[in-house]
A and B are shown apart, each in its own frame.
Chain A
Amino acid sequence: DAKTTQPPSMDCAEGRAANLPCNHSTISGNEYVYWYRQIHSQGPQYIIHGLKNNETNEMASLIITEDRKSSTLILPHATLRDTAVYYCIVRVVGDAGNMLTFGGGTRLMVKP
């Protein structure tokens, strides 16, 4: 699986957009980009995933560059409850060994 690189921490003002970058320069053509977040002392929560097109759901938007070597998770109007560690994962979706590999993630602090 391709490795990902994320900044260890970021701050964001409440109500502003939070843009969380992820570098996955060795991603292969059949690997998806997944984002999860983990609020303190809870299990990770799925946010969004994509292959090459930009995706949006009720939680966030995912922007993937044309060369697929990086992506950005956008929380359009961050709230204090969005304070969490955000994990970017790239993974082949298939039948064998579809377990997730989590790195250190980005610790997002939303401030009033």
Chain B
Amino acid sequence: DGGITQSPKYLFRKEGQNVTLSCEQNLNHDAMYWYRQDPGQGLRLIYYSQIVNDFQKGDIAEGYSVSREKKESFPLTVTSAQKNPTAFYLCASSIRGTTEAFFGQGTRLTVV
């Protein structure tokens, strides 16, 4: 089945450690996005990529890094520089030039 997969669903890390969240899609979409959601809030854009080997910062990129070496994959690294990393992280993809995006089921990261 075609879709977008995030793993793991739940992730726990100690403070000060970097952690990488996985996002894979087999929809042949050019564009991929990472969002952060805090409890009771809307989604905020972290990074987005419209083509392989290219990506741009969103509204809250500080403390995060991404790579886009393959069309199917857009991993997000939450670094130790991110002051409040505990949140729900959502990955999405879309055909470039459209706004109908498909979302993964999210990764809930808890830093203790």
Interface size for chain A: under 10, 10 to 19, 20 to 34, or 35 or more residues? 20 to 34
Q: CB distance A102 to B99 under 8 Å? A: no
Q: How far is the CA of A102 from the CA of B56 in the complex (A)?
A: 18
Q: A41-B106, A46-B101 are in contact. Are A99 and B41 (CB under 8 A)?
A: no
CB < 8 Å: which of A34, A99, A102 contacts B42?
A102
Q: CB distance A100 to B41 under 8 Å? A: no
- A41: chain B residues at CB < 8 Å are 88, 106, 108
Q: What is the chain B residue whose CB lies nearest that of A31?
A: B99
- A93: chain B residues at CB < 8 Å are 97-99
B63 close to chain A: CB less than 8 A: no
Q: A-facing mask of B54-86, CB < 8 A → 1, else 0?
A: 001010000000000000000000000000000
CB < 8 Å: which of B31, B42, B44, B88 contacts A98?
B31
Min Cβ gap A105→B in Å is 6
Since A98-B97, A102-B42 are in contact, a sample of 19 more A-B pairs with Cβ atoms closer than 8 Å, ordered by chain A residue number, is A41-B88, A42-B106, A43-B105, A43-B106, A44-B43, A46-B101, A49-B99, A89-B99, A93-B97, A95-B97, A96-B50, A97-B48, A97-B56, A99-B31, A99-B45, A100-B45, A100-B101, A101-B45, A104-B41
